[in-house]
Structure formats: structure tokens, C-alpha cells
A and B are shown apart, each in its own frame.
Chain A
Amino acid sequence: EPEVTQTPSHQVTQMGQEVILHCVPISNHLYFYWYRQILGQKVEFLVSFYNNEISEKSEIFDDQFSVERPDGSNFTLKIRSTKLEDSAMYFCARKPSGANVLTFGAGSRLTVL
């Protein structure tokens, strides 16, 4: 059983639509992260989340983005009004407290038309 499960694996949406990407890390009391990888570019940090609040975010993570953990297990990334440039692979990751290694999910590919 994978440690980090992401859904959907691929989503196609129209520009301006809202998108929610889901991540289910197995354990609790962890750090959670969202990263993205635009095709052909590097993997970029978006946001980290600990103890039910954002601990750090990048300048990419503007007001169009939000994260939450509504039910204690599901960790979501919401993009309020998608733009063409939001097309990317979005990776969720987890890290146990006190550890130094991130475990990544398989990613969710978002295509904005």
C-alpha cells in the first residue's frame, strides 16, 4: 500500500474553473507538502502544512491557492480559478516529525485548457 495516495491521477479542466487535488497520507502528526512540476521544468515547492496550518509557502502560492485537511486524513490543494500556466504535475509529500526525508505521491497531472 503506497504511503501517499493522490487523486485524481489526471484532471482536465477549463480555464477559470476550480480544481481540488486530493492527497491521503497514511500516518498522522506529520508535515505535509505540495510541490508542482511544470512540464520540462524543475520541481517547485508550493506550501508546507503542519498542525493544521500553513508553516511555509512560496511566492507561487498566491491567493488562488489554498490547502486544508478537513477530516484529519485527506489533505487537499485547491486552485480557485485555474489559469493556463497552472498546468503541471502536482506532487503531495509527507514527512514524519523529527525526520528529514520526504515521501512523495505519484502525482496528479492537471491540464488547463
Chain B
Amino acid sequence: AQSVTQLDSQVPVFEEAPVELRCNYSSSVSVYLFWYVQYPNQGLQLLLKYLSGSTLVESINGFEAEFNKSQTSFHLRKPSVHISDTAEYFCAVSEGGAQKLVFGQGTRLTINP
């Protein structure tokens, strides 16, 4: 069965500093990988996804994630964070052909000025 582990429940960083949110998954088959973001008092929004092709995927607001099959990881990075990036970030996986997502525990990113 597939599972997702986000090792850090909270990550505090200073504004304009780089950040990495870690995500590891376990699955015996090919997977699709996703990062969702939940801003305060809002729902889940898709940030970026890996379905196939290039292992490095980017979002429109400067985040990127790299699919590493050998390490079964899909870490999320941003070289310089902004106050507006404060949110909870969820890594999720679906096994190829499956119709549901399995989520990690979430990582709360807090940006300090």
C-alpha cells in the first residue's frame, strides 16, 4: 500500500531565506506525485505535480520539486520565501491508475520577517 511521510511538521524560516520541505513515499508501482498548499482558513490548492517526463517540476510562484525515484522522494524547494508563502503544505501520491490521493501529514511553513 502506498504511504507518504513528511518528516517535518513545522518549518520556521526567515523571509528571503531558502526552504526545503521533505516528502518521501512508499509504493510498489509507478506513482503520480503532488504538492498541495493550504493557506490559512482556505481549502487545498494544487501547487505542482509530477505525472511523467522531466523529474523537476515548477510552480508559477517560484516553488519547485524534484522526483527522485531511487530515493523515493519528492522534496519541495524555494530559493527565497516570502511572507505570503506562510501556509500548510501537503505532499500526496496516487499510484498509476488509482483514483484516489494519499496525503502526508503536512508541514506548516512559517515565515518570519
Whether the pair A33, B100 counts as a contact (CB closer than 8 A) is: yes
Whether the pair B99, A42 counts as a contact (CB closer than 8 A) is: no
Q: Which residues of A sit under 8 angstroms from B103, Cβ to Cβ?
A: 35, 42-45
Q: Which A residues between 87 and 113 are near B, CB-CB below 8 angstroms?
A: 91, 93, 95, 100-107
Query: A69 to nearest B CB, angstroms?
Result: 16
Whether the pair A104, B43 counts as a contact (CB closer than 8 A) is: yes
Contact of A43 with B106 at beta-carbon distance under 8 Å, contacts A100-B32, A100-B94, A102-B101 already known: yes
Does any Cβ of B come within 8 Å of A55's Cβ? yes
Contact of A50 with B44 at beta-carbon distance under 8 Å, contacts A42-B106, A101-B49 already known: no
Does any Cβ of A come within 8 Å of B54's Cβ? no
Contact with B along A45-79 (1 / 0, CB 8 A): 10010100001100000000000000000000000
Whether the pair B44, A91 counts as a contact (CB closer than 8 A) is: yes
Assembly CA distance A97 to B101 (angstroms): 15
Interface size on A, residues (CB 8 A): 24
Assembly CA distance A91 to B92 (angstroms): 15
Q: Which residues of B sit under 8 angstroms from A41, Cβ to Cβ?
A: 105
Chain A residue with Cβ nearest B104 = A42
Q: Which B residues between 85 and 113 are near A, CB-CB below 8 angstroms?
A: 90, 92, 94, 99-106
Whether the pair A106, B100 counts as a contact (CB closer than 8 A) is: no
Assembly CA distance A107 to B88 (angstroms): 15
Whether the pair A101, B46 counts as a contact (CB closer than 8 A) is: yes
Assembly CA distance A100 to B42 (angstroms): 22
Q: Which residues of A sit under 8 angstroms from B106, Cβ to Cβ?
A: 42-43
Question: Which residue of the partner chain, among B42, B92, B100, contacts A56 with CB atoms under 8 Å?
Answer: B100
Chain B residue with Cβ nearest A50 = B99
Query: B106 to nearest A CB, angstroms?
Result: 6
Q: Which residues of A sit under 8 angstroms from B67, Cβ to Cβ?
A: none
Sample of 23 A–B contacts (CB below 8 Å): A35-B103, A41-B105, A42-B105, A42-B106, A43-B103, A43-B106, A45-B101, A48-B99, A48-B100, A50-B99, A55-B99, A95-B99, A100-B51, A101-B34, A101-B49, A102-B46, A102-B101, A103-B46, A104-B43, A104-B44, A104-B45, A105-B43, A107-B43
